[in-house]
Structure 1
Amino acid sequence: MKIAVLAGGTFESERSVAAANDVIAALKEAEHEPELVMVDGGLVDTLLRSQPDVAINCLRGADGESGDIQDALEAANVPCVGSSAAVCRRAYDKAGLAEALQAYHNLTEDVTTAVTAQSLTLSRRAFEAWGAEAVLSQVESRISSGYPLCVKPASASAAQGVCRVENAEQLSEALHEALKLADRALVQQWVEGVELTVPVIGTGWNAFALPPVEIVPNAGWYDAAARATAGAVELHTPVRNASLSPSEPDAQAIRAEIERAVLEVYRALGMRDCGCIDLIWDGAQAIILEATANPNFAAEAPFAQAAKAAGLTLPNLLNELAESALDA
């Protein structure tokens, strides 16, 4: 199969290309014909001329996750591994996650395991045109946990613009910074616990969670700097049972609950082929942070590490994903 591997872009271009090289090596091992395609102003023309059977998206940040590249691929009639443009946009919008989960609950009538952090959403326009700054004094009464709080752009990647704030002055500053990156920002309760990312493969009721990956920063919390710095975090794949509970049976039950919560989010958003769900186990429940419809396929990234822990090789996994995209 002739496969275009898209890389480059405007965000973390070098890491994008490194991931693409890992993907190309795996695809060659699976006896495909991968081609590195650097994304630029001539992308669609390149795709129309080369006519690949399938594309794999290794772009990072908004380039790869916002749905825009998926729109371009759909326009060029090139099937792409992963979710549709519409689903990517839905997953990229953190402000819509709670509503998507509620709609899923209403549709299935199942008792949902996944929960989201208590939050408020504020827009740039509300600040600029309607004096939303005045509402900041009410935040403590609206979010019962009080300070510290988490402020994040509603649409951003790799923890860009995410801040922990301890008081109203920091809250105002953090919101203005977050609104430089997106039209809307979230103010949420700050959640402490075991931070996890859980890759998922498959579609609909056939989707299943790979082993949860535990993320342990060497210092502080898992912020943008920690994500961008080699060696700043330790990954434990799968999550250590002792991190969830001192009781082995309880830890296994918690892990099963985490995986149920992850699949609820994946299905609620309509994701297909593959994705990652980030969450914190706070000792009582799985609090969902965000969903990524375009996971990082680099060999050392959580997705590939979780696949390896499940007994799946990257060549076999990418082969299955490419075939699924072609059949979609």
Structure 2
Amino acid sequence: MDIPIITGGKSIEREIALRSAKNVFNSINNLGHKPLIIDLIDDEFINKIQNYKFAFNVVHGDYGEDGRLSSLLDILGIDYTCSSPETCVATYDKFIFYNLFKNYVQMPQTILTNKLISPPFQFPFIIKPRKSGSSKGVYIIHNKNEFKFYLEKDLKEFQEVLVQEYIKGQEITISYIQKNDEFILLPILEIIPKKEFYDYEAKYTNGLTELRPQLNSSEKIIQKINEIGNQFMKILSFKDMFRIDAILKGDEIYVLEINTVPGLTELSDLPTSAIAAGISFDDLINIIIKNHVARVAG
């Protein structure tokens, strides 16, 4: 098949999207298909994409994960990887996501602000943009001076900011891939950053984070993770792959967010989980493409 890879865009995650797309391009080529990279900001984007039946979505952040790209592709009648517009809206907007699921799964207490406020939680706590990814604009706040400085910074850049209770525990990431009509739970990764937490630099700089597969997780933890995953899949409509970021505190799991277009760089979480399950990157991309072959052929 000729498979266009939609990537780039204008978001603050553009660089990561391009890195992911390069890996996907190489893999599609290895699998015997004909890949083509199309940048979302290309002036001829609509003309270039509209004659294809299927596209690989590798746009992280705004547009690619907030439902706008998937909506456009739906209008154009083009099948695509990753989730539906409704699911993207419900997960990319972290405050909508929090309010949808806070009564179904454990989540840190969270408030939304568009102005300077007094500290709502005991230090330390977290601030993060309402809509963003790759940990851009995420800070652990230890005192009032930091709160004022970083809140002003985020408000200026993102306008709306979440202030979130800090849960101290193991950072974990929970990845699912769809094979045919079934979602498969991949090995859980424990994230061990050399910095204070798994920020943008730690995520995408070689050597700054260890991603340690938890191949011997207890039955109790796996059961809780499956319950959480099933709860999300009961309400939201995922396609191909998604990733849940969470904190493991003892036997309790606190969900932070869901990513519907997970990173596919050489340092990204989901491909690392897949490799721990014996699924190479080429195999992963092949599984995703095969999810769409029948629809495209029809």
What is the TM-score with the length of structure 1 in the denominator? 0.80
Seen in structure 2, the aligned counterparts of structure 1 residues 117 and 310 have a Cα distance that, compared at 3 Å, is: same
| Aligned pairs (5 A) from 1:119-134 | 119-122=110-113, 124=114, 127=115, 133=116
TM-superposition CA deviations, 1:267-292 (whole Å, max 9, x none): 43332221111111011311111111
Verify: 1:305 aligned to 2:272, yes or no.
yes
Relative distance call for 1:117 and 1:268 in structure 2 (3 A) is farther
Write the distance in 2 (CA, Å) between the matches of 1:318 and 1:46: 23
Matches for 1:87-126 after TM superposition, within 5 Å: 87-101=87-101, 112=104, 114-122=105-113, 124=114
Could you say if the C-alpha distance between residues 300 and 161 of structure 1 is closer, same or farther in structure 2, counting changes exceeding 3 Å? closer
Distance 1:195 1:306 in 2: 14
Q: Distance in 2 between matches of 1:47 and 1:205?
A: 26
Structure 2 match to 1:292: 259
- Find the partner of 2:214 among 239, 245, 251: 239
What letter corresponds to residue 110 of structure 2 in structure 1? S
Q: Describe the shift of the 1:315–1:205 C-alpha distance in structure 2 as closer, same or farther (beyond 3 A).
A: closer
Once the 2 structures are TM-superposed, how far is the Cα of residue 198 of structure 1 from its aligned partner? 1.4
Confirm or deny: 8 A CA contact 2:65 2:260 kept in the other structure: yes
For the 8 Å contact 2:204–2:267, the answer to whether it is kept is no
Larger Rg: 1
Identical pairs, percent: 25
Instruction: Name the SS for the 1:31 alignment partner.
Output: coil
Matched with 2:123 is: 147
- Deviation, 1:299, is 4.3
* Between 187-196 and 291-300, the greater mean CA deviation after superposition: 291-300
Please provide the CA RMSD for this pair.
2.6
Compared with structure 1, are the counterparts of its residues 205 and 12 closer, same or farther at alpha carbon in structure 2 (3 Å cutoff)?
A: closer
Q: Distance in 2 between matches of 1:181 and 1:290?
A: 21
Structure 1 unmatched ranges of 5 or more: 106-111, 128-132, 141-145, 245-250
C-alpha separation between the residues in 2 aligned to 1:167 and 1:205?
Answer: 48
Q: Distance in 2 between matches of 1:121 and 1:14?
A: 28
Say which structure is richer in helix: 1
Q: Tell me, yes or no, if structure 1 residue 187 matches structure 2 residue 189.
A: no
Query: Is it true that 1:278 corresponds to 2:245 in the alignment?
Result: yes
- Taking the aligned partners of 1:228 and 1:73, their CA distance within structure 2 comes to 29
Q: Within 1, Cα distance between the matches of 2:163 and 2:251?
A: 22
1:12-39 Cα distance to aligned partner (Å, 9 max, x none): 4443333222212222333322212223
Structure 2 residue identity aligned to 1:253: K
Structure 1 residues 13, 309: closer, same or farther in 2, change over 3 A?
same
- What count of residue pairs does the alignment treat as equivalent? 293
Q: Note closer, same or farther for the CA distance 1:53–1:2 as it changes in structure 2 (3 Å cut).
A: farther
